[in-house]
Amino acid sequence: MAEIIVMPKLGFNMSEGKLVNWYKKEGESVRKGENLFSVETDKTNMDIEATGDGVVRSLLIKEGDSIAVTLPIAIVGDSTEDISAVLAEALALLGKDSKVCDCEATGQTESTADALMTAVKSDGGRAKISPRARRKAGELGISSDDLCRFVTGTGFDGGICEKDVLAYAASLPADTRQKIGAAAAATPVARNMAAAENLDLDGIAGTGANGKVTKQDIQAAMAGAAAGGAARTCQQAEMNAGVKLSQDGKEILEEVPYAGVRKIIGDRLAQSKFTAPHLYFTQKVDLTNLLELRREVNAVQEQKTSVTDFIAKAAVKALQKYPEMNASLLGDTIVKYKTVNVGIAVAAPGGLIVPVVKNAEAKTVTEIAAVSSALFEKARAGKLTPDEYTGGTFTISNLGMFGIENFTAIINPPEMGILAVSSTKDEPAVIVKADGTKEIAIRPMMNIQLTTDHRVIDGLLAAQFVTEIKDLLERPVALMV
């Protein structure tokens, strides 16, 4: 029996997902456990496996489309069964959600979705206008009444989608656009550039999709206005040669959209930085004893431990001693946790991600090493599940392997703190001997910096906490008991 595949909900706060890649095309067979598609979550891209054997009968959204969780995205079934009823149900569900009534989200070139789209009756004969189409019409100066009168919808259930609005606007001559109060079709960047330079969009020929005026068209017009035909010829030659220039003449190497995982990470960090008042405390740690203990531990076991594993254990013990740091601010409530879940930041293909060692208070240093090592491998392969990178109560970010001597980390909300760990370097240090005398010696020294949320954590508590971590690292035998 045909099965409707839906956008999975992969995390508590996930409301929609972006379809990154279809591993199967319409008409291709898929077996249970095979990767069917990949989804972009708030931290990484995750492959989703098929739940049964069958044939991909219909793909309802395209790669790059975003859709609310639990809404249909595909149909898998037997190669010979009639899926009309299932497809009608799926399309009806999509039609109820405003985020996916654009033809870009539901239309499939030469697919069964096209064949059934016109068979679904509209409600009361009223024109359906998708939110994206309505927004685009507003940008172009086309009213909803004009859409209903002049635009023929090609989207789901005959609805008007963004593509229809662009095609209509681009097909009109300048005088007609002025008559109905519409503006020339242009990208937002091009429209802003034209307004800044007092350029008439109606007088610029668009080279974008459906005749849309693009940034390059505005740049060409600006060059022509400034330097005449010679400048236009030069600009055209540069464009033909594949050279891109900024508005002030700088050659552009590459333009990368600020989107996806990078934008999500940036938005979360900006929210943390400008919502929680950050307070910083730095300590210098002598790692002489810890490095010797680590050498002895690794000599008697196959599973190797890293300095980060010892730091994680020190943080766990400090969090148990100062539970105010092992907390979250959730609305108007401060929640202190008995469970210690330590997140350890690691670089992954999609950006920085923080795998979480759960229930770390019940684990030894070597057990933390085993768990964290497995998590790091999955992170670098892009295979972490949401449960493996959420639920942390405290985070460690170690850039020591890159030779960084000191840095400041931003809190990973809703946690109360993050520990920035820098590289270990040989430095002169004052050593107090047993008889009270002092001497200068070369010791392996490391900077650690604690960032705390000053809304909840006072300076004295933060100072005591980071000093506790320093003391544990300098007498590391305490980490083994």
Choose the catalytic residue: 78, 202, 387, 458.
Answer: 458
Residue recorded with tokens 């799926």: 90
Choose the catalytic residue: 42, 47, 146, 454.
Answer: 454
Q: β-strands 72-77, 342-344: how paired?
A: unpaired
Distance CA 384, CA 392 (A): 14
Task: Please provide the DSSP assignment of 432-444 as one string.
Answer: E-TTS-EEEEEEE
Angle at 397 between CA 392 and CA 398, to 5 degrees: 140
Distance CA 369, CA 355 (A): 13
Q: What is the Cα gyration radius of the chain?
A: 30
368 Cβ contact list (under 8 Å, min separation 6): 309, 312, 313, 316, 342, 357, 360
Q: Is 278 annotated as catalytic?
A: no
Q: For residues 188 and 139, is the Cβ–Cβ distance under 8 A? A: yes
175 Cβ contact list (under 8 Å, min separation 6): none
Residue of 85, 94, 98, 155 lying closest to 127 (CA atoms): 155
Distance CA 279, CA 285 (A): 20
Distance CA 310, CA 298 (A): 12
Q: Is 82 annotated as catalytic?
A: no
Amino acid at position 219, single letter: Q
Cis omega (within 30 of 0) on the bond before 414? yes
Q: For residues 40 and 20, is the Cβ–Cβ distance under 8 A? A: yes
Q: Tell how many helices (H) and how many strands (E) occur in the chain.
A: 14, 20
Indicate which residues carry an active-site annotation: 454, 458
